[in-house]
Each structure stands twice: as C-alpha cells, then as structure tokens.
Structure 1
Amino acid sequence: MGAAFAADADFTLVNKTGYAIEEVYISPSQKDAWGKDRLGEYQFANGEARKFKFGDTNNCQQDIKVVFSDDESEVQWDDINLCELNKITLRYNRSTNEVSADLE
C-alpha cells in the first residue's frame, strides 16, 4: 500500500456474535502476545459497531481475540489484513464453536 493510505488503516468492528464482548485484543499474526485490551471499561454489545484505530501498517496481517462478558470465554479470528479493510463483522456460533467474519 502506498504512503497515502498508511494513516487510513482504522476500521470498524461490528459485533454480530450474539453476545456482549468484554475485551478485544488485536495482535500481529506472527506474534504470540496479545498486548492490552482495546475496550478498557467499555462493554461492546451484540449488534453494536465500534471504530478502532490501527496504525501498524508494517504488520497488516492481524489476529483478533475477544472475551465474552457472560462466561469469559475467548474466541479468535486469524490472519485478517487490516490494511485492506474498512469494516469487519464478527460472527460466532457458540454451539459449534465456529467463527467467521464478513470483511469489507
């Protein structure tokens, strides 16, 4: 991507998992550490959309992990190219443990 797009890597995350999210982590796919929770004290309700800042354009491939409010279970989406997206809709089927994401 060109330098003109470097500052425009922020994205909107949409929670369509069916559950409220307590924590969101974003980490380069090649790393094993998650870093800090991106929500802080905020709770991310099902159906809600939230804008996230993303400036690590040297590491576009990122993993996203969420922790749900109701039972503190964790789910992960891998290898999402955040430099090429404006919106990510997270989906989760708890009974089958299947994750998917609509990428725009």
Structure 2
Amino acid sequence: MKHFLTGLIAIGLSIAAMPSVAADARNVTVVNETGYAIKFLGFNAPNDGLDEWDNELEKVLQNQASTYVEFDEDDEGCVWNIRVDWQSYDEAVLWKNVNLCKMTALRLRYDSGTKTTSFLAE
C-alpha cells in the first residue's frame, strides 16, 4: 500500500508539472508605431498569393495602440505576409515573410518620407 500511495503521488506531481496547452506559437501582439491609424491589418501565408486577406481588426488601430492576433489550427506555417491599410492614407504597406514563431510582439514601423517599412520583433 505504501508503494501504491508513493506511485499515486509521483503521478500527481508529474501531471501538475506538465505545461498547460500552450498558445499557438504564431499568436502575436501587434503594436502600431507607424505614425498612422490602421484600418486594415491582414495576414496571409506567402504561398496564398497577395490578394487573399482577412482583416484582423474589429476597429481602427490608432498609432501607439496594440492588438492581439490569434491564429487558427487550420493556419499552417510560421512565415506570414502582413498587410496594413491606413485610415486616411491611400497606400497599403506590406511586410513579407515575417516569421511569427520567433516573436511574441511585433512593432510595425513606417517612414512615409522614404516609404520604408520595418518592424521590431520582441
């Protein structure tokens, strides 16, 4: 009986030590550091073409604001294209081949003078 209880305790401790179901590695917090309000934020896989996008925003994402983007099990791969449409600026911006599995936060940046995009991964 003593060995049985010891075994049960060991099993209980191992179950308690197991990590809970982790969030998808691609889930990411997007921080708008572009200087513009964003009305559209879309992600698509590089092999999907550049014309298939879904807006991940429920409302306009103001400059310096952030939003959390969750991926579905149906989505595959770590590398994604990201498209942004500005609220009051008629040019879409595209970040290509961003590996979301290597970050938890993505700070989007844009220089309208040079039309240069960049991001800071955290």
- Both structures adopt the same fold (TM-score exceeding 0.5): yes
Maintained 8 Å contact 1:25/1:34: no
**Structure 1 or 2: larger strand share?**
1
Residue 44 of structure 2 aligns with an amino acid whose one-letter code is S
Q: Distance in 1 between matches of 2:108 and 2:68?
A: 14
Aligned length: 100
Q: Distance in 2 between matches of 1:78 and 1:45?
A: 22
Per chain length, whose mean CA-contact separation is higher, i.e. which structure has more relative contact order (CA < 8 Å, sep 6+)? 1
Say if 2:60 is the partner of 1:16: no
Maintained 8 Å contact 1:6/1:57: no
Say if 2:44 is the partner of 1:27: yes
TM-score by length of 2: 0.74
Aligned to 2:101, what secondary structure does the other structure show? helix
Residue 90 of structure 1 aligns with an amino acid whose one-letter code is L
Using the TM superposition, give the Cα deviation of residue 70 of structure 1 relative to its aligned residue in structure 2, in angstroms. 0.8
Unaligned runs of 5+ residues in structure 2 are 1-20
Structure 1 partner of 2:57? 39
Structure 2 partner of 1:61? 79
Unaligned runs of 5+ residues in structure 1 are none
Using the TM superposition, give the Cα deviation of residue 57 of structure 1 relative to its aligned residue in structure 2, in angstroms. 5.9
Percent identical: 27
Q: Distance in 2 between matches of 1:44 and 1:101?
A: 16
Q: Alpha carbon RMSD of aligned pairs, Å?
A: 1.8
**Structure 1 or 2: larger helix share?**
2
Say if 2:64 is the partner of 1:75: no
- State the 4+ residue runs in structure 1 displaced beyond 2 angstroms: 4-9, 55-58
Using the TM superposition, give the Cα deviation of residue 5 of structure 1 relative to its aligned residue in structure 2, in angstroms. 5.2
Residue 89 of structure 1 aligns with an amino acid whose one-letter code is R
Using the TM superposition, give the Cα deviation of residue 91 of structure 1 relative to its aligned residue in structure 2, in angstroms. 0.3
